[in-house]
Structure 1
Amino acid sequence: MKIAVLAPVAWRTPPRHYGPWEQMASNLTEGLVKFGLEVTLFATGDSLTSGKLDAVIGAGYEENRDQDAKVVECLHISNLMEKAGSFDLIHNHYDFLPLTYTGLIETPMITTIHGFSSEKIIPVYQKYNSRGHYVSISDADRHPALEYLKTVYNGIDPAGFEFNAVPEDYLLFFGRIHPDKGTAEAIQIAIQSSKKLIIAGIIQDQGYFNSHVAPFLNGAIEFVGAAGPEQRNQLLKQASALLHPINFEEPFGLSVAEAMICGTPVIAFNRGSMSELIKDQETGFLVTDVEGAVDAVHKLASIHRKNCRDWALSQFSQEKMVKDYISLYHHILAT
């Protein structure tokens, strides 16, 4: 079976720090190769893969700002579509635009929908309902106007995350510095529970950082910037808990699954997919506000970290994700 995996080109695949869609395209590609499939990854030229790499863009448009994102996008997607006949199936991780080619090619396409940037993009998905072969990354992120084959949770390679049974005494915020992600709420949780907080992530909203994060930085509240894979593993496994006080309906939340694979429980606001990722009071706590999160911090001793890892491996491993997708590939090709 010849599979083309279409990754986004905002960042390298896999990303150096941030880039969740690129990360999932990488995890899938590497997993498919392990299962013996012939896989071509369409991504940036500096991407890393054990499969075949096909690229017309040297670097991601977020990493080389001299490029126009729309031009890069068109060159990248059209490169694959003009070669579509060389593959048995295309796996699209690049949102809705590639769908507009499906009426012009014979190769079937499966699309993992990683979330909706706006309700305004739904008409494109609706138009290709009958041939889009849509997969959701959580039950919470399904749109009522769309038809889905299945929910397949994002899968993580556990080799990149070490289990740690004895954490250090700090809380961790790991994610974009943006109001949606709740960095300010994480700071308040740490202050009110008298705990050290480490903040790691890219600054996506500089004004928000300047007004809601920077004034609180001191010995107890530390900002370490974007974290690459090695630093991410260290931060996650050594934390007593990951704080995830989101202010939006998050489709998945990679850092939540990654933390639990390290054995680290997660305290999250119960929005979006959080109730699917976290077993309340077993692998973390689902709360509704800062006060509930502070209360949960004081209950962390009741969580067995081995349970966190076992749960995450059973639901969010690379192997499980790849097996689920291969089953869908056979279903699509058979029909």
Structure 2
Amino acid sequence: MRIAMLAPISWRTPPRHYGPWELVTSLLTEALVAKGVDVTLFATADSETAGTLAAVVPAGYSEDRTLDAKVMEMLHVSHVFERAGEFDLIHNQADFVPLAFSRLVDVPQVTTIHGFSSERIVPVFKRYEDRVHYVAISDADRHADLKYAATIHHGIRLDEFPFDVEGSSDLLFFGRIHPDKGAADAIQAALATGDRLLMAGIIQDEGYYAREVEPHIDGEQIIFNGPVGGAARTRALGHAKALLHLIHFDEPFGLSVVEAMACGTPVIAYNRGSMPELIEHGVTGFLVETFDEALEAISRIGEIDRSACRKAVETRFTVQRMADRYLELYREIIDGTVAG
């Protein structure tokens, strides 16, 4: 089986720190290669893979601001379709632009929909749903107007997230500094409970950061570490008493939620989007409806068995499970037996 894996190119694959779509693309690619699948990864030239790397774009356009994002994306997407005849299946992880090329080649195609930036892009997906097999990353993120071949949750490499049996007395915010992710709510919760809050992530909304986050950063109770990767990432995720995921949008998935639980850290999240699919209320964390409920959940976090958080990820969210499900879908599509 020869698979063309089309990665996003905002960041390198795998990303150095931030880049959730690129991270998932890398995890899946490497797991498939380890299973003996012939995978060509179409990504930035500085990307790393055990498969075959194909690149016409030098670096991620979010990392090298001299690159024009639209130009790089057109070069990148056209590259895989110009070589489509070399593959048994194209797997698109790069949003909706590749859909416009889908009827120009005969090779079967899969698109993982990592979320919808706006309702305005849905017509593109609708136009090509008879040509491309769509995968949702959570049942919550399935759009009512679209047909799907499957829902496949993301998976992580458990060995990269060591279990921390004790955690610490600190709360953790881990995500983009953006209103959607609820950084301000996390800060206000820590101030209300008197807990120390460690924060990590890229600043995606400068105005929000300046208004709602920066004034509270004192280096003592509220500490902002910026984007973290590697060992610093896993230490942050594991060495906390709880991850605060007080989101203000319907989260399509939430990799940091699964990563934290893998380390044994329970999660307190607003009950939106995919959160009920990831968190078992009262077992691996708490699903809350209001800010006051979040404060109550912080006071009850000692009720959560950290080993239950780890066990949930071992059972449901490993990269091996994700790869097996995609491999099964590929075979069904290539054999012409897929339902959806």
Q: Which amino acid aligns with 1:268?
A: A
Corresponding residue of 2:244: 243
Name the counterpart of 1:138.
Answer: 138
Q: Give the match for residue 268 of structure 2.
A: 267
1:66 is matched with which residue?
A: 66
Rounded Cα–Cα distance in structure 2 between residues aligned with 1:7 and 1:310: 30
* Letter of the 2:97 counterpart: L
Q: Aligned residue for 2:321?
A: 320
Contact 1:135 1:152 in 2 (8 A): yes
1:289 corresponds to which residue? 290
What is the identity percentage for the equivalent residue pairs of Structure 1 and Structure 2?
54
Give the distance between the partners of 2:290 and 2:50, measured in 1 at CA: 44
What SS does structure 2 have at the residue aligned with 1:276?
helix
SS at match of 1:75: helix
* Count of aligned pairs: 335
Q: Report the CA distance between 1:289 and its aligned residue.
A: 2.0
Q: Secondary structure at the match of 1:53?
A: strand
CA distance in structure 1 between the aligned counterparts of 2:98 and 2:207, rounded to whole angstroms: 34
Indicate if the aligned counterparts of 1:188 and 1:290 stay in contact, CA closer than 8 A.
Answer: no
Q: Structure 1 unaligned runs (5+)?
A: none
Letter in 2 for 1:279: E
Q: Deviations over 1:51-90 (max 9, x none)?
A: 1100001110000001110000000000111001000011
Question: Structure 1 length as normaliser, TM-score?
Answer: 0.99
Letter in 1 for 2:165: A
Distance (Å, rounded) in 2 between the aligned partners of 1:2 and 1:319 = 19
Partner SS state of residue 15, structure 2: coil
- Superposed counterparts of 1:151-230, under 5 Å: 151-218=151-218, 219-230=220-231
Equivalent positions of 1:25-40 (< 5 A) are 25-40=25-40
* Deviation of the 1:16 alpha carbon: 0.6
Amino acid paired to 2:175 = G
SS in 2 for 1:148: coil
Deviation at 1:229, TM superposition (A): 2.2
State the one-letter code of the partner of 2:43.
Answer: A
Aligned equivalent of 1:301: 302
* Amino acid of the structure 2 residue aligned with 1:286: L
Query: What secondary structure is seen at the aligned counterpart in 1 of 2:199?
Result: strand
Tell me, in whole angstroms, the C-alpha distance in 2 between the residues paired with 1:131 and 1:257.
Answer: 32
CA contact 1:160–1:229 (8 Å) conserved in 2: no
Q: Which residue of 2 aligns with 1:110?
A: 110
Moved over 4 A (4+): none
Distance 1:330 1:229 in 2: 34
- State the TM-score, normalized to the length of structure 2: 0.98
Q: How does 1:74-85 map to 2 (within 5 A)?
A: 74-85=74-85
Name the CA distance, whole Å, in 2 between partners of 1:119 and 1:208: 24
1:129 Cα deviation from its structure 2 partner = 1.1
SS at match of 1:167: coil
Q: Distance in 2 between matches of 1:264 and 1:120?
A: 37
Distance 1:239 1:131 in 2: 45
One-letter amino acid of the counterpart of residue 265, structure 2: T
Paired residue type of 1:178: H
Secondary structure of the corresponding residue to residue 102 of structure 1 = helix
CA distance in 1, matches of 2:300, 2:35: 41
- C-alpha distance in structure 2 between counterparts of 1:54 and 1:155, whole Å: 24
After TM superposition, give the deviation of residue 191 of structure 1 in Å: 1.0
Deviates more, 1:123-132 or 1:173-182: 123-132
Q: Hey, what's the Cα distance between the residues in 2 that align with 1:3 and 1:244?
A: 35
